[in-house]
Structure 1
Amino acid sequence: MDRHHKLRRDPNWSPHGCNLCGKEGHQAAQCTTGTVDWIDRFGLDHFLPKKPYFDIKPREKPDYGKVEEAARLYAEAKELATKNVDTKGASEKFKEELERQEQLKQSGEGESDLPVGWKAYTAPNGKKYYHNLATNKTQWKKPEPEGTAQA
């Protein structure tokens, strides 16, 4: 028997007996000699189910100006993000590079002695190198025009 049970009982009662009358052979729930008035002991509030409590607060009306401003800022941020992302494929980049080279040839500013598709760059050490965007080939030697390479 637990210590807290023994403290409420008469010390002369059997430890195996009823908690209400002390007689052996039955439990307090089936005791015919006495009952405990639990409502009197603890009060009716302890035995009734509690009403559900909902934390319902009155809603404030939305400030549509703030919502519109937030939506506009979101749309601008999304538009800027999509502008900065390179979504073009290799073929589109190659076509743009060819168009740019054609424009440079027409204006006379490009290197006319490079074959189509090749572009000259300068390395950090100052040395020139050449890159073909279509084949993704990079080399230090100047590429020869297609007509001279076959001869």
Structure 2
Amino acid sequence: MELHHKLRRDPSWHPSGCNICGQLGHQAANCTNGTINWRQIYGDEAFRLKEPIYPSDIYRMMKEKKVDFTALEKQAQEWAKTHANGAPPVPAATPVAVKTAPDAAASAPSPAAPVPVATPPPVEAPLPEGWGAAKDAQGRTYFWHKATKKVQWERPNAATPIS
């Protein structure tokens, strides 16, 4: 046994035991109590620090997703027309028979009421570069500069000085 192994080992361990834990049955290369080369197993990328993602960044990315509200409104109206009063959808190309009897007006289905359309929420201007937003325990929004760690209650704009 080499000298550096003898210096590291407890003298009470068996000479054939593991150099790290002293147990018989395995060697130091397979010891679960010793060091493992995690970098070899998972690669260098697993040990690089990544930039933090702040909630304000997530909210900004969500707001950047554009929604075509006019197309959405048309789809909602189409759906409402086809599903009015629980009736099965009627294909648009199918001709509808017109009654000529005097009671035709009484038995005709009433036209579908216009569907109220939700207005999109007002879009706030994005925060200037380097600023983040969060909420405190009472639900109030505060803002901070990510580099200088300056915290303030007023929403920053591009002209806000950073000190």
TM-score, length-scaled by structure 1 = 0.23
RCO greater where, 1 or 2, for CA within 8 Å and sep 6 or more?
2
TM-score, length-scaled by structure 2 = 0.22
